[in-house]
Amino acid sequence: MDRQQKRARLDLGTNVAATSAAHGPLLAPGFSDLIQPGCNPFNGKPYSRRYHDILRGRKELPVYGFLERLLDAVKNNQTVVVEGETGSGKTTQIPQFLVKDYARRGSKCVACTQPRRVAAMSIAQRVADEMDVQLGEEVGYSIRFEDTTGPNTLLKFMTDGMLLREAMSDPFLERMSVIVLDEAHERTLSTDVLMGLLKELLQQRKDLKCVVMSATLDAEKFQTYFEGAPLLRVPGRTFPVEIFYTPEPERDYVEAAVRTAAQIHACESAGDILVFLTGEIEIEDVCQRLRNEAQKCGPERGELVVYPLYSSLPPRQQKRIFDKAPGPRVAGGMPGRKVVVSTNIAETSLTIDGIVYVVDPGFSKQKVYNPRIRVESLLVSPISRASAKQRAGRAGRTRPGKCFRLYTEASFKSELQEQTYPEILRSKMSNVVLTLKKLGIDDLVHFDFMDPPAPETLMRALELLNYLGALDDDGALTDLGRQMAELPLDPQLAKLLLASPEYKCSNEALSVVACMSVPQIFQRPRQKQREADDAKNQFAHRDGDHPTLLNAYHAYKHHHSDPAWCSENFLSSRSLASADSVRQQLQRIMERLNIPLVSTPFDDPDYYVNLRKCILAGNFLQVAHLERGGSYLTVKDNQVVALHPSTVLDSKPPWVCYEEFVLTSRNFVRTCTAVECRWLCEIAPHYYDLQNFPKGEAKVALERCYRQIMAERAKE
DNA sequence: GAGCACTGC
């Protein structure tokens, strides 16, 4: 920390105590003169009774006494870092407080980003209520598929990804006077890119202000990154949580989790339990075991209701976690309690009130990226100390709680890393690179990322974009690349769509791409796997999973998107409905880009062939060749893979083009479609170039194919 | 012949 920063922090630090004691005036000086007394300055209407009710509660928030101080800091600095824990009220109070000085109707607004859609929506509603205005007028939100903002908007809540997209059409963010980045400590890919972008933009737009809000722990890292930014610390308001560690390391964390939850139910006083685990299968297993354990308790302990929680659970079952725990079973007995067994979804995305006990085995599934073989995969890994603290905090939202960590205190202190690696260090960069190029950032190597991705990861992204034709050999964005960046898709899928008119299948490509951009549309409940497989076979196309997706989507439309029909046929109507929204959005963008929307007639023998060629036009880097031994080798990377058992392909075609590489018990390729060697030579000769092709059976087959093509051409 | 942590555009 340099001297200037240190001084800035001290200045704030000394004054903070004084202002927190005395609640300063809410309106900025001079502002209240402009309006009728008792009227809402934002819309000139008299305040409702509810406004005053809510205001009383707002004045109790820890952040309330800091607001004037914050305004001072923002006035005197371009960037301010705010550190505030859960319950401080920073998310709702700070953005609306800035509106008074920094937003002007019809010209400038305050924007506040959130990592999640639900948060953007619900916070916007809450703040609109607090400001006593109609949601969609002075306060609105903007998320994918929904924009409630308009010409009167003074305060706009949006997802971080949405702001990034807006920056593409408005690189100087000219409509905005203050950008508030909330939940910056989560370090989502979009927030990290935005921070780098804002750091540059702040140099160019001296009138732009930026407030970076983070939970405790690493606010100083943000302060260092935004050189000279003052740090404002706001206390939180939560209840104490007592932490317990195991004296010895646990060999089997699943077993330990069951035992601990059962013990809490048997011995501890009333209050609900939250157990963190890593995935669906583990969770369903533990739920079953807990139901069995609960039977062993006497009736005086009350009933134990067990709920699983993970994102692919149908919404109706997800909502059950909010049901109240049952009362006592016998007069004078203990009330019942609920135990929620959850993935990380309960760590940040979903808050369950009434949790008093947390069981934390210390693991979660985390994305990792291996640039060498270009594979993103999920790995069960130890969580960070920050994550452990967040989990424990879930026990103290309504009253004092207890957290049982299923690891030793020594390993908490010495083995867990302080922070989870930010997503940008664990992801492929192809999409980020395309976005940055589109935003006019040419020199990616010197772009000021808070945590720069590995050079090899960036190289892989540049290479991929070059092969796809999005970047030329000098790394400059091509016309195709500019169009690809407009589509909210991975570059391969964007390329596939843009190539679709060439293969006379734009409408079909749109449907397939939409289905691939949503969670799995085929459902396979554990109890009914056979029935589900039979249902899927109705849609199966012998040449692969992509045509099968198209068939299922068509059947869905043919049955008028009927949810009952979906569930009879083991299709997720939730996924298909969102595929429909995605498809509409993509179609609108294609129309705007003047990409012709064409189809091959369904009775044409080339209907599916054209689609398969088009799939290959986007996915030609994801191809595997069947080797003599019977296993597949991925092209160029030479990874041994097997077709994922979910594939509809029942024979093993010599060449398959796949959507993703999944690393679980073995290496699998998922969503596979048979392609022909010839197509590789015709569609992607620059990639299937014999000069740069590793020796092996695939190369031999390609050589044979090229010779054949030459011979045919000679004959013509 | 087997899983898919969580977001977001």
Residue closest to sugar C1' of B7 by CA? A116
Q: A339 CA to B4 C1', in Å? A: 23
Provide the pLDDT confidence category of residue A4 given band limits of 50, 70 and 90. very low
Q: Is A250 in contact with A405 (CB distance < 8 Å)? A: no
Q: A159 CA to B3 C1', in Å? A: 30
Helices A491-499, A479-486: inter-axial angle, 10-degree rounding: 110
- In this predicted structure, the answer to whether residue A11 has a pLDDT above a threshold of 70 is no
β-pair type (A146-147, A139-143): antiparallel
> What is the three-class DSSP state of A520?
coil
Provide the pLDDT confidence category of residue A231 given band limits of 50, 70 and 90. very high
Provide the pLDDT confidence category of residue A294 given band limits of 50, 70 and 90. confident
- In this predicted structure, the answer to whether residue A7 has a pLDDT above a threshold of 70 is no
> What's the half-sphere exposure (Cβ side, CA atoms, 13 Å) at A55?
14
- In this predicted structure, the answer to whether residue A12 has a pLDDT above a threshold of 60 is no
* The two structure tokens encoding residue A159: 């997802």
CA distance A526 to A532: 10
**Exposed (0-12), middle (13-18) or buried (19+): which is A22, by Cβ within 10 Å?**
exposed
Q: A664 CA to B3 C1', in Å? A: 8
**Exposed (0-12), middle (13-18) or buried (19+): which is A344, by Cβ within 10 Å?**
buried
What are the backbone angles phi and psi of residue A542, rounded to the nearest 5°?
-60, -20
- The gap between the terminal CA atoms of chain A, to the nearest Å, is 73
DSSP, res A270? S
Helix (H) or strand (E) holding A154: none
CA distance A567 to A576: 12
- In this predicted structure, the answer to whether residue A22 has a pLDDT above a threshold of 70 is no
One-character DSSP codes across A453-497:
PPHHHHHHHHHHHHHTTSB-TTSPBPHHHHHHHHSSS-HHHHHHH
Q: Is A47 in contact with A72 (CB distance < 8 Å)? A: no
Q: Which of A373-377, A548-552, A621-625 has the lowest mean pLDDT?
A: A373-377
β-pair type (A655-663, A667-674): antiparallel
Nearest nucleotide to the CA of A642, by C1', is B1
Q: What pLDDT score does A37 carry?
A: 66
Nearest nucleotide to the CA of A530, by C1', is B1
Q: For the beta carbon of residue A169, count every other beta carbon within 10 angstroms.
A: 8
Residues 6+ apart with CB under 8 A from A645: A668
CA distance A180 to A169: 20
Q: What pLDDT score does A683 carry?
A: 96
Q: What pLDDT score does A589 carry?
A: 94
Provide the pLDDT confidence category of residue A49 given band limits of 50, 70 and 90. confident
Helix (H) or strand (E) holding A151: none
Closest residue by Cα to residue A508 from A461, A541, A467, A474:
A541
Which whole number is the average pLDDT over A551-570? 93
Choice between A206 and A526, residue whose per-residue pLDDT is larger: A206
Q: For the beta carbon of residue A376, count every other beta carbon within 10 angstroms.
A: 16
Residues 6+ apart with CB under 8 A from A275: A257, A260, A261, A286, A339, A340, A341, A342, A358, A359
- In this predicted structure, the answer to whether residue A298 has a pLDDT above a threshold of 60 is yes
Cα angle A607, A608, A613; round to 5:
105
What are the backbone angles phi and psi of residue A425, rounded to the nearest 5°?
-90, 0
Residue closest to sugar C1' of B6 by CA? A345
- In this predicted structure, the answer to whether residue A19 has a pLDDT above a threshold of 50 is no
Which whole number is the average pLDDT over A450-455? 92
**Domain covering A241-424: architecture:** 3-Layer(aba) Sandwich (3.40)
What are the backbone angles phi and psi of residue A487, rounded to the nearest 5°?
-90, 130
- In this predicted structure, the answer to whether residue A6 has a pLDDT above a threshold of 50 is no
Token pair 């799939």 in the structure block, residue: A615
Residue closest to sugar C1' of B8 by CA? A161
What are the backbone angles phi and psi of residue A662, rounded to the nearest 5°?
-115, 135
- In this predicted structure, the answer to whether residue A17 has a pLDDT above a threshold of 50 is no
CA distance A91 to A71: 15
Q: A172 CA to B6 C1', in Å? A: 31
Q: For the beta carbon of residue A176, count every other beta carbon within 10 angstroms.
A: 24
- In this predicted structure, the answer to whether residue A79 has a pLDDT above a threshold of 90 is yes
Nearest nucleotide to the CA of A645, by C1', is B1
> What's the half-sphere exposure (Cβ side, CA atoms, 13 Å) at A574?
9
CA distance A509 to A119: 33
Closest residue by Cα to residue A388 from A359, A350, A354:
A359
Q: A670 CA to B3 C1', in Å? A: 11
Token pair 């064409």 in the structure block, residue: A598
Q: What pLDDT score does A335 carry?
A: 87
Q: Is A58 in contact with A88 (CB distance < 8 Å)? A: no
Q: What pLDDT score does A215 carry?
A: 83
Q: Which of A83-92, A422-431, A636-645 has the lowest mean pLDDT?
A: A83-92
Residue closest to sugar C1' of B9 by CA? A488
Which whole number is the average pLDDT over A268-293? 91
Reduced 3-state DSSP string for A321-342: HHCCCCCCCCCCCCCCEEEEEE
CA distance A173 to A219: 25
CA distance A704 to A678: 10
Nearest nucleotide to the CA of A364, by C1', is B5
For A598-657, the pLDDT digits (tens) are 999 999 999 999 999 999 999 999 999 999 989 999 999 899 999 998 999 988 999 999
Residue closest to sugar C1' of B5 by CA? A365
Average pLDDT, chain A: 89
Q: A347 CA to B6 C1', in Å? A: 10
Q: Report residue A442 CA to chain centroid gap.
A: 26
- List bases in chain B with any atom under 7 Å of a protein Cβ: 1-9
Percentage of residues in chain A with pLDDT exceeding 90? 64
Q: Which of A267-281, A312-326, A420-434 has the lowest mean pLDDT?
A: A312-326
Report how many helices (DSSP H) and strands (DSSP E) chain A contains, helices first: 26, 21
Residue closest to sugar C1' of B2 by CA? A645
Q: A60 CA to B3 C1', in Å? A: 48
Whole-model pTM: value is 0.89
Nearest nucleotide to the CA of A489, by C1', is B9
Q: A584 CA to B3 C1', in Å? A: 30
For A238-249, the pLDDT digits (tens) are 889 999 999 999
Q: A420 CA to B8 C1', in Å? A: 19
What are the backbone angles phi and psi of residue A377, rounded to the nearest 5°?
-145, 170
Choice between A604 and A298, residue whose per-residue pLDDT is larger: A604
> Please, where are the H alpha helices in A538-606?
545-558, 563-568, 573-592
Q: What pLDDT score does A36 carry?
A: 61
For A577-589, the pLDDT digits (tens) are 999 999 999 999 9
Q: A447 CA to B2 C1', in Å? A: 42
Radius of gyration of chain A (CA): 28
CA distance A701 to A555: 38
Q: A291 CA to B2 C1', in Å? A: 26
Q: Report residue A570 CA to chain centroid gap.
A: 26
For A461-481, the pLDDT digits (tens) are 999 999 999 999 999 999 999
- CATH 3.40.50.300 occupies which residues in chain A? 49-234, 241-424
> What is the three-class DSSP state of A661?
strand
Closest residue by Cα to residue A62 from A218, A232, A181:
A232
- In this predicted structure, the answer to whether residue A377 has a pLDDT above a threshold of 60 is yes
Nearest nucleotide to the CA of A585, by C1', is B9
Instruction: Tell me the sheet residues that pair with A385.
Output: none
DSSP, res A276? E
Q: Which of A172-186, A344-358, A550-564, A677-691 has the lowest mean pLDDT?
A: A344-358
Distances (CA, A) of A559 to A383, A539, A553, A624: 45, 14, 10, 36
Provide the pLDDT confidence category of residue A14 given band limits of 50, 70 and 90. very low
Which whole number is the average pLDDT over A427-449? 92
Which whole number is the average pLDDT over A69-77? 93
Nearest nucleotide to the CA of A282, by C1', is B3
Cα angle A252, A256, A259; round to 5:
145
Q: What pLDDT score does A148 carry?
A: 94
Instruction: Tell me the sheet residues that pair with A407.
Output: none
CA distance A350 to A82: 23
Q: A170 CA to B7 C1', in Å? A: 24
Residue closest to sugar C1' of B1 by CA? A645
Which whole number is the average pLDDT over A492-497? 96
- Which of A86-95, A515-524, A674-683: highest mean pLDDT? A674-683
Q: For the beta carbon of residue A118, count every other beta carbon within 10 angstroms.
A: 12
Nearest nucleotide to the CA of A279, by C1', is B5
Provide the pLDDT confidence category of residue A2 given band limits of 50, 70 and 90. very low
Q: A645 CA to B3 C1', in Å? A: 10
Q: A701 CA to B7 C1', in Å? A: 42
Four-residue CA torsion sign, A484, A488, A489, A490: positive
Nearest nucleotide to the CA of A366, by C1', is B5
Nearest nucleotide to the CA of A146, by C1', is B9
Nearest nucleotide to the CA of A166, by C1', is B9
> What is the three-class DSSP state of A13?
helix
List of long-range contacts for A481-485, beta carbons under 8 Å, 24+ apart: A481/A434, A481/A437, A481/A438, A482/A438, A483/A593, A483/A595, A484/A434, A485/A168, A485/A434, A485/A435, A485/A437, A485/A438
Q: Is A220 in contact with A82 (CB distance < 8 Å)? A: no
Assess if CATH 3.40.50.300 describes domain A49-234.
yes
Distances (CA, A) of A179 to A99, A100, A586: 11, 14, 28
* The two structure tokens encoding residue A289: 């075991």
